[in-house]
Amino acid sequence: MARLAHGSQNEGRQRVLDFITMYINDNSVPPTIREIQAGAKISSTSMVSYYLKDLEKANMLDRYKRRSRGVVINDPGRVVARDMVSVPLVGVITCGAGPVPTPDADALRSADDRIQIARSLVKDTDDLFALIASGDSMIDALIHDGDIIIMKKETDVKNGELAAVFLTEKNESTLKRVYKEGKRLKLKPENPTLKPFYVDARFAQIQGRVMCVIRRA
Amino acid sequence: MARLAHGSQNEGRQRVLDFITMYINDNSVPPTIREIQAGAKISSTSMVSYYLKDLEKANMLDRYKRRSRGVVINDPGRVVARDMVSVPLVGVITCGAGPVPTPDADALRSADDRIQIARSLVKDTDDLFALIASGDSMIDALIHDGDIIIMKKETDVKNGELAAVFLTEKNESTLKRVYKEGKRLKLKPENPTLKPFYVDARFAQIQGRVMCVIRRA
DNA sequence: TTGACAATAGAACGCATGTTCGACTACAAT
DNA sequence: ATTGTAGTCGAACATGCGTTCTATTGTCAA
């Protein structure tokens, strides 16, 4: 049977762990031993040290010895900032009713709103921007009203990539899978129940590649 | 005209900034003055202090005075870990060909793969899990083969919410918007070109609510 | 040339901070 | 009772670390 002395030390341990988590959230820097002592209501720094050693043994946190603020929470669900990118939200896209806006470098840097996504979803993180889809005109690209579309600015794509194509004759943009077939482009809807159609390559202009689509329910 | 003394101090400033960024990425803790000195090849701690004051004035970083490691990078594109959640990826969903798996708490904690998403996309972060859509059988929910579906475990939903519904008579799950109409449920496809259909509420079981759908191109 | 000032160096000051140590207490097994 | 061990406390020690001070040098404007 487990031995319990004075007050169950598990309680203090948990308080320490919780406080460190909270502190990092608030300050984006881990606390010092003495800050933990005060914040988690521990009676002495040696007790904090004691709990910390315990938590480290239980693999709940890592420590850099002798470094100030050298505690790192060890949480499998923890997100590391370097795994994420922040993409500027530059506007609304009404597919089938005009061109997709293609922002310049300045617009990308100064955007007010930003969308955070995992790096693993987009691989290459350069020249990304985000658009909000508007209207139901993009059903054939399986895109819904309000969806967030993450795009990469590009003027050419490989066969079979999903891209925003500006059709000069119609003066509108559309999202389709693009295949080059000689002097013409095959534009294939994402929806397999719909037929592809073809345009003369001279009247079609690649605006960007769709990297990711995010729908909030 | 700007005055340039010895070596352009802009260079040193930049080295300091870059080093801090890198250091935080590697250690998830900001560096000390002396670590910056060594890492960014600065000749003295007072020079580091000098640069730091400069960078702070230029609003490129914030400092907590007199606190050890009290530097925080000030980057609009910087992602803060607390804004993100990590969702366990628990399986594949083949809609229209069986039930959606509903994992228990253990499965959620021990999942190998995880999907990182912004908190703002899901609001409530409890009981979330992620599924990969398989096959083209979910077109009427505007969901594509390979899409990541973020779900929240729930047994009831509000009218108009998108949910996974298990149909006991067909022994399969489907993703639809759900409306309660007396003793029956109206299940409405996301695709506005498709008609809703109705089931007896006794033969339908809510499995979870769709919080978010992510498509990688 | 000279005065003003940014840029630079090195060292020292002093509080911040992790660590350690000795002593003391409560509880369980012997 | 004795002994061992986990839990606890307070204080002291040794660095860690931000800050500051003085002195020096290079550059530009007057």
Assign A109 to helix, strand or coil: helix
Q: How much is the pLDDT for B44?
A: 94
Q: How much is the pLDDT for A180?
A: 94
Find the residue in A nearest to B177 (Cα). Answer: A217
Going from the N-terminus, what domains does chain A have, and what CATH number goes with each?
9-73 (1.10.10.10), 81-214 (2.10.109.10)
pLDDT mean across residues, chain B? 86
Confidence of residue A13 (pLDDT cuts 50, 70, 90): very high
A103-133 residue pLDDT tens: 776 666 666 789 999 998 998 888 999 999 8
Q: Is the pLDDT of residue A176 over 70?
A: yes
For chain B positions 54-113, those within 8 Å of chain A (CB to CB) are: 64, 67-70, 72, 76-86, 88, 109
Question: Do β-strands A184-188 and A172-181 pair in parallel, antiparallel, or remain unpaired?
Answer: antiparallel
Q: Is the pLDDT of residue A134 over 90?
A: no
List the single protein residue with the shortest CA to C1' distance from D25. Answer: B6
**Distance between CA atoms of B56 and B74, rounded to whole angstroms?**
9
Whether A128 and A154 have beta carbons less than 8 Å apart is answered as no
Q: Which of residues 19-48 of B touch strand D (CB under 7 A)?
A: 32-35, 45-46, 48
B50-72 residue pLDDT tens: 999 999 999 999 999 999 999 99
Nearest beta carbon to residue A215 from set B80, B86, B213? B213
Q: Is the pLDDT of residue B202 over 80?
A: yes
Nearest beta carbon to residue A29 from set B30, B143, B190? B30
Q: How much is the pLDDT for A5?
A: 45
**B66 CA to D22 C1', in Å?**
22
**Residue of B49, B137, B180, B186 marked active site:** B137
Task: For chain B, say whether A4 makes contact (Cβ under 8 Å).
Answer: no
Q: How much is the pLDDT for A4?
A: 42
Q: Is the pLDDT of residue A48 over 60?
A: yes
Question: Do β-strands A161-167 and A204-216 pair in parallel, antiparallel, or remain unpaired?
Answer: antiparallel
Tokens 């352009």: give the residue: B8
B152-184 residue pLDDT tens: 999 999 999 999 888 888 888 888 899 999 999
**B5 CA to D27 C1', in Å?**
6
Confidence of residue B9 (pLDDT cuts 50, 70, 90): low
**B10 CA to D28 C1', in Å?**
18
**Distance between CA atoms of A38 and A61, rounded to whole angstroms?**
20
Q: Is the pLDDT of residue B209 over 60?
A: yes
Nearest beta carbon to residue B116 from set A68, A84, A109? A84
Q: Which residues of B111-130 are buried (b: 16+ CB within 10 A; e: fewer)?
A: beebbbbbeebbeeeeebbb
Inter-CA distances, B138 with B96, B106, B175, B194, Å = 8, 28, 8, 12
Q: Is the pLDDT of residue A17 over 90?
A: yes
For chain B positions 148-207, those within 8 Å of chain A (CB to CB) are: 161-162, 190-193
Q: What does DSSP assign to residue A31?
A: P
**Distance between CA atoms of A193 and B49, rounded to whole angstroms?**
64
Catalytic-residue membership of B137: yes
* Beta-carbon separation of A216 and B211 below 8 A: yes
Which residues does chain B have within 8 Å of residue A28's beta carbon, measured at their own beta carbons?
72, 80-81
Find the residue in B nearest to A137 (Cα). Answer: B192
Number of Cβ within 10 Å of residue B104's Cβ equals: 9
Which of B24, B29, B177 to mutate to probe the A interface, most A CBs <10 Å?
B29
Confidence of residue B97 (pLDDT cuts 50, 70, 90): low
Question: Do β-strands A61-63 and A71-73 pair in parallel, antiparallel, or remain unpaired?
Answer: antiparallel
Task: For chain A, say whether B127 makes contact (Cβ under 8 Å).
Answer: no
Q: What does DSSP assign to residue A59?
A: T
Q: What does DSSP assign to residue A84?
A: E
Q: How much is the pLDDT for A3?
A: 41
**Distance between CA atoms of B172 and B179, rounded to whole angstroms?**
19
Q: Is the pLDDT of residue B3 over 70?
A: no
Q: In chain B, what are the helix, strand and coil shares in percent, each to the nearest 5?
A: 25, 35, 40
- All protein residues with a CB under 7 A from any atom of strand C: A 1, 3-6, 32-35, 45-46, 48-49, 52, 63, 65-70; B 3-7, 9, 12, 42-47, 50, 54, 66-68
Q: Is the pLDDT of residue A7 over 60?
A: no
Taking the CA of residue B25 and the nearest CA in chain A, the distance in Å comes to 6
A62-90 residue pLDDT tens: 999 999 999 999 887 777 777 889 999 98
Which of A21, A67, A109, A142 to mutate to probe the B interface, most B CBs <10 Å?
A142
**Distance between CA atoms of B114 and B85, rounded to whole angstroms?**
10
Which of B84, B124, B152 to mutate to probe the A interface, most A CBs <10 Å?
B84
Inter-CA distances, B200 with A189, B178, B181, B187, B197, Å = 35, 12, 10, 11, 11
Higher pLDDT pick, A149 / B10: A149
Assign B4 to helix, strand or coil: coil
B16-48 residue pLDDT tens: 999 999 999 888 899 999 999 999 999 999 999
